Amino acid sequence: MSKKILVIEDNQQNMYLTTFLLEKNGYEVIQAWNGVEGIKKAEASLPDLILLDIQLPEMDGYEVAWMLKKMPGISEIPIVAVTSYAMRGDKENVIAAGCDGYIEKPINPDSFISEIEQFLFKGKRK
């Protein structure tokens, strides 16, 4: 059974690349195009990992992460911010909002899967 990954991303090109890389590596991808939709899909699907953009319409990624980490049954799901926010302090802000990790955009297709698997299989064997 493949692992489910929820991708919350509003940029079509980023969503396409992320989905392509994940599906190519055997993961089931659930797509959400904004934070509100992402929260609903997290509740409905209970993914194994959430990849979260920070710059989102309606509700930014900080608020999405904060809300997800307060929800019973979802709070234990790892959240990795995948964002272009790369200034001093941005990583700390992402972690403070409730994210478990941080990957800078543009993503590197050669290392992306190994980067997310650090969170997906944390303390577990593949």
Q: Which domains does the chain have, with CATH numbers?
A: 4-111 (3.40.50.2300)
Q: What would the pLDDT profile of 31-57 be if each residue is shown by its tens digit? A: 999 999 999 999 999 999 999 999 998
Q: What would the pLDDT profile of 68-97 be if each residue is shown by its tens digit? A: 999 999 999 999 999 886 667 778 899 999
Q: Tell if the pTM clears 0.85, that is, is over it.
A: yes
Rounded Cα distance between 11 and 32, Å, is: 11
Q: Which two tokens stand for residue 25?
A: 């590596």
Q: Which residues pair with 28 in a beta bridge?
A: 4
Which residue stretches of the chain are H helix? 12-24, 35-45, 61-68, 90-97, 112-120
CB 107 within 8 A of CB 78: no
